Every structure is written in structure tokens, then in C-alpha cells.
A and B are shown apart, each in its own frame.
Chain A
């Protein structure tokens, strides 16, 4: 057997083999430096709110990039003003997510629904069966304790330290793509292709809640989400397509560029620029619709973030709660090894995906 140092070196080589540094690093570094200098010059002379407004403009206007224009910039400035003057929105994002996945892996279409809540570092996601019963309920509470309840196997698991996934590192103040990837069936525990992933590979979206179709974790403060959308408009990755009524409320419709690999429509509240509905479709046949409500952090609303463990459910190791769910992922896949954190390091197990009772493909009982 090879020395461990050699194996590690080979592993590192392999892990980073496809990486290429993005072009224009020097230009971006210069841009950021100029912005920083510009901000420094105005910060001392302004009130806190005025400084914040200037900062938003200073960040967004020079970064308008390919699709940016003076008109778009002016529109952004106006929206910033509107947003700052708008009534404070709620901080808890509550989402009802419906996903229709058409044979991404060769199987028939699957429609799933999920409810998700997110507030700061806390989040919860409940995946439902076609008849509306919970299949599994997962979430991370205070102190990053992750809980998963599997209703089909009547088991549950808790793992401290998992916390919330990293917010995608783009969106707020750059013109990089806005999309984080398409959430898969059930809005949570399903493959979500991510930008830059090798073709044909997928990542289980367990531990990956977030505002669907938007390159931001739902834990992002509403202002950050709104700013990301404004930036996307100023960059040209989303365009204002008009006004529409969504659930009886007027909303601004934003659409992705024609011909985009992933097509996206986001309806935002004109006052706050917060998303109220997102529809994302990919060329692989996944279509996701999320209706989003922003709730105030009242006690009843905060209670929605807690994953309840029903009486009589058996506690198991995390991997043993996860495996039965992974085995229900749509599509026929070759057996894979799934590794998850465990109290003593990580635990790995071979699994193969097959259809289960909960995530029934369309046309099958």
C-alpha cells in the first residue's frame, strides 16, 4: 500500500484537478479598491442611513458589468430609496415549494411538495407526500443542532454541529450568476446541480435549504436578498418584465435572459423587492415553483422553525435516518457510498436509489 502522504497528495491533486482561476482577478481587485476608497471618503460625512444608501449605490453602479446601463443604475438607486423607505418586512421566510422533476436520471416524472422556513441561522424543511402527509422533517435549531425526522421509518436523528449550509458566495454585490441551482424533488433531499459541478454529478440537497432559484441562503437578511435581486437587475441577469398580481397582490415580474440554460421568473414586491414567487425551470426537466411569505418573528412564527419529534419514534444514527430517504430519490442510480458526520468522525454506507412509497412517480401508485 502506498504511503499515506502520497495518497493524500494524489487526493489533493484529484480534488482540485479541474480548477481554473477566474479571469480578471486584477481588474476586480482594482475595482474593489476604488470602491473602498470612494466609500471611505463619504462615510465620515454622512449619517448612518445616508452612508448605507451611498454604499449600496457605490457597490452596485460600478459593477453593472455587461448588462449594466445608466438607466438601470438610476432604477436601482430609486429602488434602493424605495426599499429603505418601505415598511420593515418580516424576517422569517416561509416557503411552499412544488417541484416537478422529469426524468433527470432516466425515471418518470415526480412531483413533490415541501414547506420551508428560515430565520437567521435556523431553518426547517418538511417534505410532503402527494397526499400531503409529511415524509420527513429536517431542520437546524439554535446552536447548529440538526434534527431529522423520517415519518416513513418512524425514526429520528439529531446531530450537533451541522448548522446551516454556507450561503452561496455570490449574488449580493457582484454580477456573477444569481442561481444557486435547482432544488430537486421535495425541495430538500434531492440532487441539485450546482454551478461548476462536473457534468453528471449531483449533490444531495439535504442540509441545503435556501431561497429556491436565488443564489442566497434563506438565512440571508431580507435586505440582502432584495439587494441581490436588485443587483441581478442592474447586471442584466434579470430583466423587469412588467407588473402582475400574485395571490391578489401587485408584484414586479423579473425574468432571466432569453436562452439562459436555467430559466427563472421571480415576482418581487415592488416596495421591498423581496421575492413572493419564484419559478425555475432547467433543461433537465426540473420545474420548481416556490411561493414565499415573509413572516414577523413572533412566538407562533418562531415555533414553526422547530422540528417536532413525534412520540414513539425511535432515535437512530443520522446515516440510518438518511439512507431510507436517499433510497427514494427519483431515478435509477448505481449504488453509491454516502458519508455523513457521526459523533466519532464520519460514517459511510453503500446505498442505491429506487422509488419508494412516498415519492411516487407520476402514473404509478
Chain B
């Protein structure tokens, strides 16, 4: 039988898990503002069915975040603008002159990947889900998750290899053009 949940229950749940979900949303979108928008939209969707919601709210929100990021949410004009920036790696809320190390470079590269590939890597390596769980969330075959993940990682390995070569050559100062 479906539970009859109160809004206070949802607030309690969000107080506990919203920070983590926001981090997922930000990794999916590339900026704090877009991540907050995305999470807010997902919470609204959950709220609509909350009273009779019978399931794992975190799983539902995570799935909604991914679906919105990879599909419907991009229809919004604001999202299109952000997405274009993500593709080019230029993001207003990001410090491009900040100290860059390989980890930062990897995240920047992550944010430039196609949104579905990015979602796979976020779910696999941030949420630490299995290929099967990732496939279930994204509504695709496990093989698709594996290939998208390995393509993304391959690009990152290339970057890491360039990075270490250049760092060795330039005393660890990063890649020179």
C-alpha cells in the first residue's frame, strides 16, 4: 500500500540528502546555478507525487536529475545556453585562471563531454553505481553504459598522459601550448 507522507517528511529527507544530490546535479550541469535549478525542478516533480510516493526518494531524484539533464530540461532556453557553454568549457562561475591540476583538468573535460557520456561517468564514479544500476537510471542498455564510460575515460587518459608528459618537461606547471 502506498504511504501517505507529509511535506515535513520530504523536508527531513532533503535536509539529509539534498547536499549530496546538489553535488550530483552540479556535476551533471557544470555550474552551481544550473545544478540548483535542476535539483529544484526534480524536487517539484517529487513533491507532486510525494503524498502517495512509495519508493526510494533519493533514487527517484537521482533518476529525475539525469533524465532532466539528458533530455527534457535541455528544452528550456536557459539550459540550452548553459549547455553550449559546457560544450566549450567556458563557464562563468568557474575560475579559469585558478591553479590547475590534473584533477581539475579532468573535471573540466568531464563537463565538456556529451551530456549522456557525462551522466554515465557521474553515476559510475561519483555515485559509485554499477553499470547495471546506471543503465537502469538512464534507461539504456548496460552495453551502452559501458561503451559511453570507456569512451569518456579514454579521453581522460589521453589528457592525463599529455599532462604528465608536459608536467615532466615543464617542472609540473601544466600543459603548455
Contact surface of A with B, Cβ cutoff 8 Å: 1, 4-5, 7-12, 14-16, 19-22, 25-26, 28-30, 32-33, 144, 161-170, 194, 196-197, 201-204, 207-208, 317, 319-320, 326, 336-342, 345-351
Between B11, B90, B125, the greatest number of chain A beta carbons within 10 A of the residue's beta carbon is seen for B90
Q: Contacts A4-B157, A5-B125, A16-B23; is A11 near B104 (CB within 8 Å)?
A: yes
Which 9 A-B residue pairs are closest in the complex by CB-CB distance? A21-B18, A11-B103, A16-B23, A169-B33, A11-B107, A29-B44, A347-B177, A336-B97, A337-B100
Q: Mark B11-45, 1 if CB is under 8 A from A, else 0.
A: 10010001101110011000111111101100110
- Are B47 and A194 in contact, with the CB atoms below 8 A? no
Distance, CA A319 to CA B27, complexed state (A): 26
- Are B99 and A7 in contact, with the CB atoms below 8 A? no
Chain A residue, CB-CB nearest to B19: A21
Tell me if B98 counts as interface (CB < 8 A to partner A).
yes
- List 9 other contacts, CB 8 Å, given A166-B78, A337-B173, A348-B100: A8-B103, A12-B122, A26-B10, A162-B90, A166-B34, A169-B36, A336-B97, A339-B105, A339-B108
Stretch at the interface among B66-74, B81-89, B139-147: B81-89
Q: How far is the CB of B103 from chain A (nearest CB, A)?
A: 3
- Are B177 and A14 in contact, with the CB atoms below 8 A? no
- Are B110 and A33 in contact, with the CB atoms below 8 A? no
Chain A residue, CB-CB nearest to B18: A21
- Are B173 and A166 in contact, with the CB atoms below 8 A? no
Set B78, B87, B100, B104: member contacting A169, Cβ < 8 A: B78
- Are B14 and A25 in contact, with the CB atoms below 8 A? yes
Chain A residue, CB-CB nearest to B46: A29
Q: Contacts A15-B27, A163-B88; is A204 near B96 (CB within 8 Å)?
A: yes
